[in-house]
Structure 1
Amino acid sequence: MLLYVTVGTNNLERAIEFYDPVLSTLGYVRVKTSEDEAGYAVNANSAAEFWVLYPYDKQEASAGNGSMIAFAAADRAAVSAFHAKAMLYGGHDEGAPGLRRYTPHFFAAYIRDPDGNKLSAVFDQPE
């Protein structure tokens, strides 16, 4: 359904230092880097599916109120690792790993990156 998603940053170097270890917990690798953007994919030979970049209009990046990107996790351990790495690398807690009310197996964690973008990792299957 989606080709790719982007989030803005005001400091690409800091964003890369955050996203490299955090997204690695979900199997993502950085596949592209330029002076303005970094792209991540699950397969190193694939096109980037997630981008962090300086806004093209050269204005300050800001987080959208009500916006969130949810990444699929391979298991509950990956959700927990995502949250732990995010806290270690400058993220902010928006909801510790745990079961949520959406389905009987919806295990998720919620964080904000250093620029305030809200992200989630979710595993929604029996463990």
Structure 2
Amino acid sequence: MNRYSHIDLRVNSWEKVRTFYENLLPALGFTRTFHSEKWKVFAAEGELPSVPYFAITEDSNHKPNENLIGFWAHDREEVDRIAELVVRYGGTIDSGPWQFPISPTYYAVYFQDPCGNKYEMVHRLN
């Protein structure tokens, strides 16, 4: 059983990251939106609350830290596509995409949103 439910993410400026997340999250399968004044919610297909979702709220005092959210990729090509999307929509690549020495099949890209929140997109076979 996949025990993942949701992520509540803080950003210091919704306008600064809006285009980034409106393009990244659908590419990761969060294709449905349920936005309110306070929360911008991107959900996977299916009925809430039983599907994964990604909720973003603005907090002008938010300061990014070393926490990292990781996503699985179906293949190396998906890692490369996400890396291109990150750059196109204002994110920053920290490392990759390339083969990391974590395992013989660990292919990943590490990146940040425009506010500095950290992510990884990884494909690995073992």
Normalising by structure 2, we get a TM-score of 0.83
Counterpart residue number, 1:60: 61
Partner of 1:49: 53
Determine the structure 2 residue equivalent to 1:125. 125
Over 3 Å counting, the alpha-carbon distance change for 1:2 and 1:26 in structure 2 is closer
Q: Which residue of the other structure, out of 2, 11, 14, is the alignment partner of 1:12?
A: 14
Structure 1, unaligned runs of 5 or more: none
Structure 2: state its 5+ residue gaps.
none
Change in 2 beyond 3 A, CA 1:30/1:94 = farther
Q: Residue 114 of structure 1 corresponds to which residue in structure 2?
A: 114
Distance 1:68 1:85 in 2: 18
Q: Distance in 2 between matches of 1:40 and 1:99?
A: 30
Corresponding pairs, count:
122
Q: Is the 8 A contact 1:92 1:112 kept in 2?
A: yes
Instruction: Give 1:38 shift.
Output: 1.4
Q: Contact 1:79–1:121 (CA<8 Å) still a contact in 2?
A: yes
Residue 95 to residue 60, structure 1, CA distance change in 2 (3 Å): same
